[in-house]
Chain A
Amino acid sequence: MNNQIGPNWRTIVRFGLIGGVVALYLSVIGMVEAFSARNLIGTFITLAQILIFGGPFVAGYLTAREFKDKPRTTIILCGLAAGAMASIFQVMLILIAHAVDLRFMFVSISPGLMEILTFGQGQYLGSLILAALSAVMGAIGAGYFLLPGTISRTLTSAVVVTLGVGLFSENVNQILSSNWLSLIGGRSVARLLIQQKSLNPIVALVLFLAVGGLTYWRATRAKAQVESDDESPATGRQKRFRTVMLIIAIGALLGLPWIVGRFLSQVLFMVGLYIMMGLGLNIVVGYAGLLDLGYVAFFAFGAYTMGVITSASPLGLTNLNFWIALPICAIVGVLTGFVLGVPVLRMRGDYLAIVTLGFGEIIRILALSDWLAPFIGGAQGILHIPYPSIAGFQFKTPEWMYYLVIIGSLLAGFLTIRLRESRLGRQWMAMREDEDVAEAMGINLVQTKLLAFAIGAAFSALAGGIFAARLGTIFPHTFNLLWSINALSLIIVGGMGSIPGVMVGALILVGLPELLREFQEYRLLMYGILLVVMMLVKPEGFVPAARRQQELRAHAKESAVGTAAD
């Protein structure tokens, strides 16, 4: 229609409206207001602003990409228009919310949100400011696309690092002004860096320039190096470097709880726990290809076993200590893995997922019921589970429990690696690819599947046992579906079948939301969106397992050929 000369207005409208819908969505579900409490730099850049102007920026960028052959001024103008378009829904929201009270229905459209969207300038002036700033952001997005690669990369890393430090400034503050770091001047450093729970603007500027300069320098140097010399083979120096790095890493791992303080140690404890669970689920889902949505059942079995065996309350059967109880938890995990595994052996794919989900829920409801209350306490749960102790020393604090969970996850990691390289591991993967072919190759499917369930369950039950000992009390309400979903999300985000992926996934999905309070409320929303986006864009995960990646690529190619053939 209109696409012979000049920009096609339809593209602009489309990207603009997409950006606008995203921005509106974030406002209406209350994310903008919730995140406005998180100051990044000074008190004037908050996380909310990033949400509001992210849409226009991306709209401008995408529009510019569509028009990349046009002259520069046209591209910038297109970006400007797209950015302005992107603000249209929010402006409408401001005007409507001013005229009618939407709050009885949409709880998030509060005066606070209006204040943020209009910059406290009232509806008309505020809308104008919002539209103008969005247009400018769109133009900046378009301009960003036009920058040469080196500069845009430099800018990106500088902005990301500065905002990242700003985002976690509260935690940095916590670390610096807690425990021994404060003795060597941590507190005054903190006071210099951080004002009112966010980064000092001057420090932010310095950081921005420093990171930018460094990246730019490295980028230009790397370019020069590529031109000057070819790659040299690995030398003894590199080997030694690697050893040193390993020692530093181990040292850091061991010293971490004492550097970061109690709160962050607890966060690390949870991350470690999820790494254990994730590694176990990774065997079931990633290696054997059995989608298990009731994984929390094994975790609950481990925790309840620990509770029933060691508890000092009347429900406790014996007073065995933690170290003897822990292997028993693992054994119970293996047994329940077998018991719950047998009925589902014939099942594949999606039905298996639903059945395991059903198991998880049945077990939670039974744990809650009065029927089993005489044995496991019903809704009151099990109290007085003792802390682990060695020779009178009790692992009371998260700092010490951290070591336990680190040992546990290292053990789980080691076992996983050994299993992956073993005959059993190869059988799992063969089974995952094609059950019928695997069976034809002489793989005993029953045995292979059951072992996957049992070993995965053992990891989870171990984690459950440690969890019970850490909390000291367990309630059936704790063991809900969300554990399974969390564990599943983290192995999908990290990459199914990838061990480093599990760790990265646990750090991102468990660690980050614990650090950022505001995220807590939107945690599951983000998990959900992340699952969808990962499946659409990067099904192999962020840290993909090499083999898995090849398969998915091959499949994509196949289906592409398929559609081409149609």
Chain B
Amino acid sequence: MLRRYLERFNWLDFILLMFRVVILVAIAIGIFNSVRAAKYTDNQWATLVFAGLAQGSIYALIAMGYTLVYGILLMINFAHGEIYMAGALTVVFIAHIFNDSGFLNAQPLLAILIMIVIAAAVSTILNVVVERLAYKPLRGAPRLVPLITAIGASFALQYTFRGLYGAQYRAYPEVKALRELVTVFGYKVPLVQLVVPASALVLMLGLYFFVERTKMGKAMRSVSEDKDVARLMGINIDRVIVITFALGGALAGAAGVFNGLFRPQGINFYMGFFPGLKAFTAAVLGGIGNIAGAMVGGVFLGLLESLGPNLILEGLGIPSVNQLKDALSFTMLVLILIFRPQGIFGERLAEKKA
């Protein structure tokens, strides 16, 4: 028994196993210590949970773009974070026009809807243009070539918008109606933290039904199964790909407006890079190519980011834990890619990916 085990022993597996054990133990100790110390009241925890839900639903919306594109082209659209930025940054100006004219606070629902539509339009157009110029000529190139192109596109877009709108930070105006506190399960929560997850959910359900129930959605699914067979069935692959990019762009643009409403701190041309990476993490978490999975992955990541520093890291005796928020998400990214690249729910495209 032992001999057979030793024969199959592989030191790489062993190191990875140890790595996993150490991390799990660290998380367990951290949580145990934090819970025992009971430093925060449940009101504070609830605040963190709701903020995490809102942030997570924004990640989930961006993650849709990654997951759709990866499902169809097997390509990480590295520039997707910039698509999100483009919508968010363009609408800052619109939001200020609305705010100055009083429209935003008089008719918040209508104004925000218009803002979402504009942001989605900007992001959609940009995503389709990038696809046409940078990715379309590279169909069938070796896998790393489109990735490098996407990295290039990401920087080109960032600095294009820097040139267009300048490098300074610009804040979304506050919408008074959204700042009101409402009571949920006995906890007081700003309305915006409920509106953002709810509208994100509506949009994602819309996407889900589009993919599952419409003819175009069927075409998308068939292209992601097998491009060549789909083409034989008379599906216009280029059209399907353009629509995929357009859908991803639209949701990213909407996410940009939600982000502005939820966290009205200043944004600038660099705002999309890290959320893009985190949304990619979310997409992988849920199993890339899987829409429902990306939804769950996004929310999970949002919760991890908002709860993790206080729940896990503080228990380990690390000072100023909130500095390490981003490190936590990137650690999640690294861990999930190393240990479970097929995601929590498994991956539909597993066999094709290798």
Instruction: Please say whether chains A and B are actual partners in one complex.
Output: yes
Task: Please count the residue pairs between chain A and chain B whose beta carbons lie under 8 angstroms apart in the complex.
Answer: 167
Q: How far is the CA of A105 from the CA of B277 in the complex (A)?
A: 28
Q: Are B148 and A291 in contact (CB under 8 A)?
A: yes
Q: Which of A25, A359, A524, A535 has the most CB of B within 10 A?
A: A535
Q: A351-B341, A485-B155, A525-B156 are in contact. Are A343 and B334 (CB under 8 A)?
A: yes
Chain B residues closer than 8 Å to A25, beta-carbon distance: 160
- Determine if B186 is an interface residue (Cβ-Cβ < 8 Å): no
Hey, what's the 0/1 contact readout for A330-344 against B, CB within 8 Å counting as 1? 000000000000111
Q: Which of A368, A531, A535 contacts B323 (CB 8 A)?
A: A368
CB distance from B135 to the nearest CB of A (A): 10
Q: Are B147 and A529 in contact (CB under 8 A)?
A: no
Q: Are B145 and A535 in contact (CB under 8 A)?
A: yes
Hey, what's the 0/1 contact readout for A550-566 against B, CB within 8 Å counting as 1? 00000100010011001
Hey, what's the 0/1 contact readout for B1-41 against A, CB within 8 Å counting as 1? 00000000000100110010000000000000000000000
Q: Which of B19, B318, B323, B334 contacts A365 (CB 8 A)?
A: B323
- Determine if B164 is an interface residue (Cβ-Cβ < 8 Å): yes
Q: Are B142 and A555 in contact (CB under 8 A)?
A: yes
Q: Are B144 and A291 in contact (CB under 8 A)?
A: yes
Chain A residues closer than 8 Å to B143, beta-carbon distance: 349-350
- Determine if A209 is an interface residue (Cβ-Cβ < 8 Å): no
- Determine if A354 is an interface residue (Cβ-Cβ < 8 Å): yes
- Determine if A112 is an interface residue (Cβ-Cβ < 8 Å): no
Within 135-156 of B, Cβ neighbours of A (below 8 Å) are at 137-138, 140-149, 151-156
Within 521-551 of A, Cβ neighbours of B (below 8 Å) are at 522, 524-525, 527-532, 534-536, 539
Chain A residues closer than 8 Å to B133, beta-carbon distance: 532
Chain A residues closer than 8 Å to B76, beta-carbon distance: 350, 353-354
Q: Which of A28-36, A221-229, A264-272, A406-414 touches B?
A: A28-36
Q: Are A525 and B277 in contact (CB under 8 A)?
A: no
Q: Are B155 and A527 in contact (CB under 8 A)?
A: yes
Q: Which of A108, A347, A489, A532 contacts B337 (CB 8 A)?
A: A347
Nearest CB in chain B to that of A27: its residue = B163
Q: How far is the CA of A562 from the CA of B93 in the complex (A)?
A: 48
Nearest CB in chain A to that of B90: its residue = A105
Hey, what's the 0/1 contact readout for A366-377 against B, CB within 8 Å counting as 1? 101111000000
Q: Are A358 and B159 in contact (CB under 8 A)?
A: no
Q: Which of A365, A489, A535 contacts B324 (CB 8 A)?
A: A365
Q: How far is the CA of A350 from the CA of B144 in the complex (A)?
A: 7
Chain B residues closer than 8 Å to A532, beta-carbon distance: 133-134, 149, 152-153, 156
- Determine if A404 is an interface residue (Cβ-Cβ < 8 Å): no
CB distance from B10 to the nearest CB of A (A): 9
Q: Are B331 and A362 in contact (CB under 8 A)?
A: yes
Q: Are B333 and A528 in contact (CB under 8 A)?
A: no
Nearest CB in chain B to that of A446: its residue = B12
Q: A343-B19, A370-B320 are in contact. Are A31 and B141 (CB under 8 A)?
A: no
Interface of A is mostly: helix
Q: How far is the CA of A350 from the CA of B127 in the complex (A)?
A: 20
Q: Which of B137, B144, B165, B334 contacts A107 (CB 8 A)?
A: B165
- Determine if A492 is an interface residue (Cβ-Cβ < 8 Å): yes
Q: Which of A30, A291, A489 contacts B147 (CB 8 A)?
A: A291
Q: Are B337 and A524 in contact (CB under 8 A)?
A: no
Q: Are A563 and B318 in contact (CB under 8 A)?
A: no
Q: How far is the CA of A351 from the CA of B353 in the complex (A)?
A: 10
Q: How far is the CA of A257 from the CA of B115 in the complex (A)?
A: 56
Q: Which of A31, A358, A562 contacts B163 (CB 8 A)?
A: A31
Nearest CB in chain A to that of B316: its residue = A371
- Determine if B224 is an interface residue (Cβ-Cβ < 8 Å): no
- Determine if B326 is an interface residue (Cβ-Cβ < 8 Å): yes
- Determine if A106 is an interface residue (Cβ-Cβ < 8 Å): yes
- Determine if A248 is an interface residue (Cβ-Cβ < 8 Å): no
- Determine if B231 is an interface residue (Cβ-Cβ < 8 Å): yes
Q: Are A354 and B327 in contact (CB under 8 A)?
A: no
Q: Are B156 and A529 in contact (CB under 8 A)?
A: yes
- Determine if B258 is an interface residue (Cβ-Cβ < 8 Å): no
Chain B residues closer than 8 Å to A293, beta-carbon distance: 151
Nearest CB in chain B to that of A363: its residue = B327
Q: How far is the CA of A527 from the CA of B152 in the complex (A)?
A: 7
Q: Are B148 and A535 in contact (CB under 8 A)?
A: yes
Hey, what's the 0/1 contact readout for A482-504 against B, CB within 8 Å counting as 1? 00010011001000000000000
Chain A residues closer than 8 Å to B157, beta-carbon distance: 528
Nearest CB in chain A to that of B10: its residue = A446
CB distance from B273 to the nearest CB of A (A): 8
- Name 29 interchain pairs, CB-CB below 8 A, sorted by A: A106-B165, A108-B163, A343-B16, A345-B12, A353-B147, A354-B333, A357-B277, A358-B331, A358-B333, A361-B327, A366-B324, A369-B323, A369-B327, A371-B320, A371-B324, A485-B151, A488-B148, A488-B151, A522-B159, A525-B160, A528-B153, A528-B156, A528-B159, A531-B153, A532-B134, A532-B152, A535-B138, A535-B146, A559-B141
Given contacts A365-B330, A369-B320, A528-B154, 11 further A-B contacts (CB under 8 A): A29-B160, A370-B323, A488-B151, A522-B163, A524-B158, A525-B156, A528-B157, A534-B152, A535-B138, A539-B141, A555-B142
Residues of B within 8 A of A (CB): 12, 15-16, 19, 75-76, 93, 133-134, 137-138, 140-149, 151-160, 162-166, 228, 231, 277, 280, 318-320, 323-324, 326-327, 330-331, 333-334, 337-338, 341, 354
Considering the complex of A and B, which 9 residue pairs feature the smallest CB-CB distances, nearest first? Answer: A531-B152, A29-B163, A528-B156, A528-B155, A525-B159, A107-B166, A532-B152, A365-B327, A370-B320
